[in-house]
Structure 1
Amino acid sequence: MKLEALSQALCLLPALLPLIEAAPTRRDSNPPLRGSEALVGYSSTENIATGSKPDVKYSLLPGQKETPDIGAYLDFEKVDNPQPIRGSTGGDDPGPRNYYYDRINSDKLAPPGTDNGQTINAQWPFGLSHNRLGIDSAGWARQENTVVMPDATQMAGVDMRLEPAAYRELHWHVAAEWSLVLNGSCRIQAVNENGETFVDDVSAGDVWFFPPGIPHSIQALDEGVEFLLVFDQGDFNEDNTFLATEVFLHTPKEVLAKDLGTTVAAFDDIPDDELYIFAGTAAPKDIEKQNVTTASGVIPRTESYSYHFSEQDAHEVAGGSVKIVDPLTFPVANNFSAAIVTVHPGGMREIHWHPTSDEWTFFIQGQGRATLFTAPNAATTFDYRAGDIAYFPQSNSHYIENTGDEDLMFVEVLQASQFTDMALGQWIASTPRQIVKDTLKLSDSTLASLKTEKQYVVAGSNTTA
């Protein structure tokens, strides 16, 4: 009987094997890191998950319901669940997402219908730049160059902060340095190749310029200082400047002693590493005490390295104001031209382009957006906040619109001997009307409203002059 029962059980075994293999088994350890080969390719079970479309709850802003090419600004900061939708274009997004970026970059999430193709990336936030911290709580510096903005080939920037009495170490560099003081004040000092000396105090809104190879230093005064540096090389690296400490550390002491007419022992206490940004002795209140007299004398005023831009009155226009500094008024900065532009709420820096230079722009205050148009038909709209950098290549048209409820302020920097631009409105208004009518099909009433003068900043519906 036992043999007969065993024989019957063996006969049933082939039918039971699939059930045994499918039965759940006790697992005393974690599953292996990798699955089995049976998971590759076609499904053996055809057990495809089914279900309903995710229920994404959202509401659209009025501008999202308009025809996409109207392209109204969408304020997603006040929206719980912003969506990539304009008119009949786009669709909902159930995630995963970075809601913070979506809210502050609405023109990336839901671009105007006029955007097309791909331009360069014309935006970089200093907030994403690595911060280099000075020693002894002396300050910090962060930079933007072609490492993070590959197409910004003509200019690079640095945002630097020095605490009271702190120094940016004595140094020079291959690139030319143009600077705008953002807040606070500092004392700048230099010596030129003729042995002429320079020292001056600058404060918020002032500008300085040091040509390539001119050694200089910067020391913060009582309130500390923050300044913007712009260099005429897109691949400039702030970490590769020529520092006084490094020169002394990497020159034989016997050679230093011979060169400076002293003993080798004179260099026993020099720092054993670079200082870069470091705390120092407060500068004397009387700047005359730091005027070094040499046989060559001081640098003539006409060749001065500083320009007190803060004392220049702004030129008022309908939508804000503009003030310009370029070699016509600041000769030593022979290839740097800049404009500080203020745009009232609802206003816009008019559509324009620069025929001879790229534009490097830093946003000082407020928020705005810009559309970069690149021939033949590429256009991208970017959203900017204070602390952001914009970069618009030579002859590529763009505007900057104030999308906030406070004044928008930014500085445009060019590599040019004079600050100039071409304005779309002035061009169309100054072209014979019949040519414009035949080309753009604009009405006589529209053409009659155009202005032949450059506007710089145009007013919006919420703008007060």
Structure 2
Amino acid sequence: MRLDEGVIRELHWHKEAEWAYVLEGSVRITVLDYEAGNFIDDLEKGDLWYISSGVPHALQGLSPNGSEFLLIFDDGHFLEESTFILTDWFGLVIAKNFHLAPEIFAHVPASEKYIFQGSKPGSIDDEMPHGRGVKKSKYQFKHRMLTQKPKVTSGGEPGAIREMHWHPNADEWSFFIRGRARVTIFAAEGQARTSNYVPGDVGIVPKNMGHFVENIGDEPFEMLEVFRADEFRDFSLCQWMGETPSQNGRRLPVCR
């Protein structure tokens, strides 16, 4: 999704959980948690947010050149049309809900706004609601992924390979951000498939299927891997061959 400066994705919620990664620019998220706490924060390139099923939230673009972010949902049958939107309710129930005359809400939109142009917001302190019953959320919906210390390995340059491996607890969903890559996936009965990827492509590797990734471009490549699991797990071919008891097969010195 892409939002220009000041553009608002109105308050909404999903049956599915939402996970997002900021690709360019900055975006402000507003979230109401299960305990009626209010969360507002700004996210930059490389940050991510996670919002559970049913939790209402709104988004607003902050960058003059636009804000772009990748949205991921934990159900492959997700449909944007099934999203619950606040303005969907306004024309039907708002007056009845507050026991007030309908004409009081004549200025309220009669149909969904979905995405609309707003003004550039002020600081978070200025925008934070105040009043009786308003409280700050104790939950953290924003995560600064790029501030984590990276795991440094050899390779990553043109011609490098992410060795053969597999994931025992979840399918792998990949989004390719930079460079060119080739992914080979092995299934049972000697079947395999190889595909090339460029920025903007999406790849799927089913759980337990062995696969490896090659850098076939002329620069380092970046890919975002997403797993529907509480914990990242993988087995590598080198690990398996290097730690297999000798009576089950000859160990490879390079894997020790």
- Provide TM-score, normalisation by structure 1: 0.53
Letter in 2 for 1:276: Y
Q: 1:352-402 CA distances to partner (integer Å, 9 max, x unpaired)?
A: 111010111000111101111112322110111100000011111111111
- 1:122-141 equivalent positions in 2, closer than 5 A: none
Cα contact 1:368–1:383 (8 A) shared by 2: yes
**How many pairs are equivalent?**
254
Letter in 1 for 2:211: H
User: Letter of the aligned partner of 1:291 in structure 2?
Assistant: M
The separation in 2 between residues aligned to 1:262 and 1:217, in whole angstroms, is 26
Higher relative contact order (Cα pairs below 8 Å, separated by 6+ residues)? 2
Over residues 104-132 of structure 1, what are the superposed CA-to-partner deviations in whole Å (9 max), with x where a residue is unaligned?
A: xxxxxxxxxxxxxxxxxxxxxxxxxxxxx
Q: Does 1:278 align with 2:116?
A: yes
Give the match for residue 72 of structure 1.
none
Residue of structure 2 aligned with 1:226, choices 55, 63, 68: 68
Residue 23 (structure 1) aligns with: none
Question: What is aligned with 1:354?
Answer: 167
Secondary structure of the structure 1 residue equivalent to 2:39? strand
Query: Which of residues 386, 403, 413 in structure 1 aligns to 2:216?
Result: 403
Query: What amino acid maps onto 1:410 in structure 2?
Result: M
TM-aligned CA deviation for residue 346 of structure 1? 1.2
On the 8 A contact 1:194/1:296 being kept in 2, the answer is: no
Report the Cα offset of residue 308 of structure 1: 1.5
Decide whether aligned partners of structure 1 residues 235 and 292 sit closer, same or farther in structure 2, where only a CA change above 3 A counts: same
1:296: how far off?
6.0
- Superposed CA deviations along residues 257-293 of structure 1, whole A, max 9, x for unmatched, are 2323543113213334322222111111x21112224
Match of 2:148 among 312, 315, 320: 312
5+ unaligned residues in a row in structure 1: which ranges? Answer: 1-159, 320-342, 438-443, 452-465
Choose which of 234, 243, 247 in structure 1 pairs with 2:89: 247
Equivalents in 2 of 1:260, 1:221: separation in Å? Answer: 33
Distance 1:352-1:256 versus aligned 2 partners, 3 A rule: same
* Match of residue 4, structure 2, among 163, 183, 188: 163
Give, as a single letter, the amino acid of the residue that structure 2 aligns with 1:201.
Answer: D
Is 1:172 aligned with 2:20?
Answer: no
Map 1:203-218 onto structure 2 (within 5 A).
Answer: 203-218=44-59
Structure 1 or 2: larger helix share?
A: 1
State how 1:367-386 maps to structure 2 within 5 Å: 367-386=180-199
Verify the 8 A CA contact 1:372 1:398 in the aligned structure 2. Answer: yes
Out of 245, 250, 257, the position equivalent to 2:95 is 257
CA RMSD, 1 decimal: 1.6
Give runs of aligned pairs for residues 289-328 of structure 1, distance below 5 A: 289-293=126-130, 295=133, 297-300=135-138, 303-319=139-155
Structure 2: give runs of 5+ residues left out of the alignment. Answer: none
Q: Letter of the aligned partner of 1:207 in structure 2?
A: L
Partner-residue secondary structure (3-state), 1:289: helix
Structure number with greater Rg is 1
* 1:388 paired to 2:230: no
Q: Match of 2:249, SS?
A: helix
AA matched with 1:290: E
Q: Name the structure 2 match of 1:34.
A: none
Out of 199, 202, 209, the position equivalent to 2:43 is: 202
Residue 208 (structure 1) shift: 0.3
> Residue 266 of structure 1 aligns to which amino acid in structure 2?
I
When residues 347 and 205 of structure 1 are mapped into structure 2, their CA distance, relative to the original with a 3 A threshold, is same
Q: Is the 8 A contact 1:176 1:232 kept in 2?
A: yes
Q: Any idea what SS the aligned residue of 1:316 has? A: coil
Q: Which has the higher strand share?
A: 2
Supply the AA of the counterpart residue of 1:274: E
